[in-house]
Structures are given as C-alpha cells and as structure tokens.
Amino acid sequence: MERRCKHCGDLFTPCANVAHQRYCCEAECQKARKNEWRKKKLATDSDYRLNQYDAQKRWRQRHPEYWGGYRTSHPEYARRNRALQRDRNHKRREGVIAKSDESSICNPMRSGYYRLIPAEAEAIAKRDEYLVKLDVIPRGYLQVPDIFPDCKQIT
Ligand SMILES: [Zn+2]
C-alpha cells in the first residue's frame, strides 16, 4: 500500500509504526513536515508559542555574537557605530593631551585622523588610501609605551 508524499508527490511505503504518515523519508519532506507541524502548533497552542518565544530569547542571550552577524548584514549600522566610536576616542584623547602637555597647543601637527595616500598614486589613477590616526605624543610619554593601546592602523 503505497502513498503519495504530501510534499514531493512521490510514492512511498509508510512505516508500519507511523499511523498516518503523509510524508516520505526524504530529508526535504521531513523538514516540510516539521515546518507544517510547527506552524500549526504556533497557531493553535499558546503555551507552545510562549515556550518558543522564551527559547528564542534565551538563545539570543546565550549567543551575543549574533549581533556580529547583524552588523555584517547591516553595514550602514556598523559604519555609523564606528564613526561614533571614533568621535568618542578622539574627544577622550584630546582631553588627555591638553591636560598633559600645554605646548601641544602650539604644535601645528594636531592629533587626529589623516588620510594617507601613496605619493606616486596621485599622478596616476585614484588608488587605495588609508585612514590613519596620528597622536601627537608629548615628550615623556615615550617611557610609557602602553599609554596609547589603540594607536594602530584603522582602515
Ligand atoms: Zn517526499
């Protein structure tokens, strides 16, 4: 007694111990069966709905790195966040320098972000450019190399 699978339409022989088997054993069809079951359950069973909601919430709490994935798929959100963070870093850094060395006011080279373009690239086509953070380091700071831990290339 073969039956037609509700998903793929192929004929299959139901297992003896599954009373009303409507799907064959193909992985795709079993997935469809589970989805169908879940949809029906969500629509009819409020306890199940609440449980699912709680489980999803707990999953998000256990997997905060999910937000890393969110940033990757929402580049504008990530770009804006980085810009805001740069602003904050910049302001903090300026505060540190102003307090630690008055003479930096007279220094024509200011701490901040600069575009770095390979010199020979200007004459030719537009090439890669690098956004670099330059910190004016007052004398005396060289003895404390860790004072600017995030002084590195930012692209
Ligand atoms: Zn099937």
**Which pLDDT score is estimated for 103?**
47
97 lies in a domain?
yes
Could you report the per-residue pLDDT of 2-54, keeping only the tens digit for each?
899 999 999 999 888 887 899 999 999 999 999 999 999 999 999 999 999 89
- Give a yes or no: residue 34 inside a domain: yes
Q: What is the pLDDT of residues 86-138, one digit of tens each?
A: 888 888 777 665 554 444 445 567 778 887 777 765 555 666 777 888 777 66
User: d(Cα 101, Cα 151) in Å, to the nearest integer?
Assistant: 19
Q: In angstroms, what is the span from residue 22 Cα to ligand 1's centroid? A: 9
Residue 60 lies in a domain: no
**How far, in Å, is the centroid of ligand 1 from the Cα of 1?**
16
- Same domain for 16 and 83: no
pTM over 0.85: no
* Residue 7 Cα to ligand 1 middle (Å): 5
Answer yes or no: is 63 within a domain: no
* Domains in the chain, number: 2
H or E element: which one contains 35? helix 27-44
Is there a contact between 10 and 32 (Cβ–Cβ < 8 Å)? no
The parent domain of residue 122 ranges over: 71-147
